[in-house]
Amino acid sequence: MPSNEALTPLLRQFRVLIAGGSYGGLSAALALLDLSKGRLARFNFTEGAKPPPYQIPIQITVVDERDGFYHLIGSPKALACDKFAAKTWTRFCDIPALKSPNLQIVRGSVNTVDFQNKVAQILDLETKETRQEKYDFFIAGTGLRRVFPTVPQSLKREEFLKEVLSHKEAIRSADDGVVVIGGGAVGVEMAAELKELDPQQKVTLVHSRDRLLSAEPLPDDFAERVVSELKEQGVEVILGQRVIDTAAVEEEQGKRTWNLTLASGTILKAGHVMNAVSKSSPTSSYLPKDALTEDGYVKILPNLQFANPVPNAEHHFAVGDIVQWAGIKRCGGAIHMGHYAGTNVHQLMLAEATKTKPEFMNLIKYPPVIGLALGHTAVSYTPDEGTKHGKELLGTLFGEDMGYSICWNYMKMSEPCQA
């Protein structure tokens, strides 16, 4: 069998287009870079696994609206703490693992994808021009369109840091307290982080349902533990009350306060309001409708290929939050999908080059698992261990920086790409 230094005699270079530069898209790109150089994918920890016997020339283009990798898990803390925020957004050009002649990153958006002819229309946000990008393999990883304050709306790091400072000042000057609307994962983490960062600030969490995280398939004891942890940290929790009106009130010295009317008729006064009600939707408008569910999610096979009978479906993959797959959407799942998609794309390249049959990695159905960072503690749920909580659990799941270092190190972002 040839050594890793031997190049497979290919007639052409493979072109891979990846839409989305977050957890899933970058993981796919990094796995492909490793494998194309004849190395094991950085996410492969299988004992006895052998690297590919060939090197394959590839060219990867990653398209993302932002100018860098944003650690989405850290949003609840980043949007209230400028020091932490500076760490959560790293420009692509400053990530050593992405500095490769085989990888190009375009700040832009994919407008349309022609599956039949394997060509995409890309709007370059720097030049404001639209161009065509031909490809051999396509990976969709653009995730969900999330509203503020779930994610920042800035597309550049410098703008993001200004956004954070403005948001932090609004929280700091909220003399009548902060009200967080929405008791999903983002809302509960945000309320806890606000209280952790400023214990003297009054923080109220309002949720329309009778239990927190009501949209997720989680047991009651998990939701009850989350409520207990929030209350122990000083967060006021109001359940079963929908906010039906939010009215701004101008007071002396130009300060604005808010009156929130609940369905019961109760009026809450707040100095700052944060709407964490989930309004996320798949960013799949650039994909053929035949490939999507009614809600806009991509239907995939266990090997991440498009499941519906669209042209060249076997050369089109989707990863991360944009896909329809079992389990709660998490960054860990997106990284896992990216690894598998990158590996399976590489298998198809090998199959074409060596006239062999590809050996795909297949996803299994994810059970509902979740971990929440709640100030100085954490709460988690897995089917095997049930509900767990505690300060030690916070360190295990999130480290000291809301999981930033855990994700960064797992993806080996600090390691320069080797030739």
**pLDDT higher for 191 or 278?**
191
Same fold, 8-146+280-366+402-411 and 167-276: yes
Q: Which distant-in-sequence residues (6+ apart) come within 8 Å of 24 by Cβ?
A: 141, 143, 319, 320, 321, 334, 335, 337, 338, 341
Query: How far from 237 is each of 179, 228, 275, 327, 377, CA to CA, in Å?
Result: 10, 10, 15, 27, 17
Work out the pLDDT band at 138, boundaries 50, 70, 90. Answer: very high
Amino acid at position 286, single letter: Y
Superfamily of domain 8-146+280-366+402-411: FAD/NAD(P)-binding domain (3.50.50.60)
The DSSP output letter for 92 is: G
Give this prediction's pTM.
Answer: 0.92
Q: Report the percent of the chain where pLDDT is more than 90.
A: 73
pLDDT of the residue at 419: 56
CB burial readout 108-122, b (16+ within 10 A) else e: bbbeebebeebebeb
Work out the pLDDT band at 216, boundaries 50, 70, 90. Answer: confident
Q: Does 269 score more than 70 pLDDT? A: yes
Work out the average pLDDT over 143-172.
86
pLDDT of the residue at 191: 95
pLDDT of the residue at 42: 94
Q: What is the fold, at CATH topology level, of the domain defined by 167-276? A: FAD/NAD(P)-binding domain (3.50.50)
Q: Does 7 score more than 70 pLDDT? A: no
Question: Average pLDDT of the chain?
Answer: 91
Instruction: With both helix axes pointing from N to C terminus, report the angle between 23-36 and 331-354 in degrees, rounded to the nearest 10.
Output: 30
* Pairing assessment for the beta strands 144-145 and 281-282 based on DSSP bridges: antiparallel
Segments making up each domain of the chain, as ranges: 8-146+280-366+402-411, 167-276
**pLDDT higher for 18 or 73?**
18
Sheet holding 130-134, edge to edge: 130-134, 119-124, 103-114, 58-64, 14-19, 137-140, 316-318
Q: Does 2 score more than 50 pLDDT? A: no
Joined tokens for residue 373 = 């960072």
**pLDDT higher for 183 or 354?**
183
Alpha-carbon distance of 58 to 16, in angstroms, equals 7
Whether the Cβ atoms of residue 203 and residue 233 lie closer than 8 Å to each other = no
Cis preceding-peptide flag for 368 (omega within 30 of 0): no
Work out the pLDDT band at 1, boundaries 50, 70, 90. Answer: very low
pLDDT of the residue at 418: 64
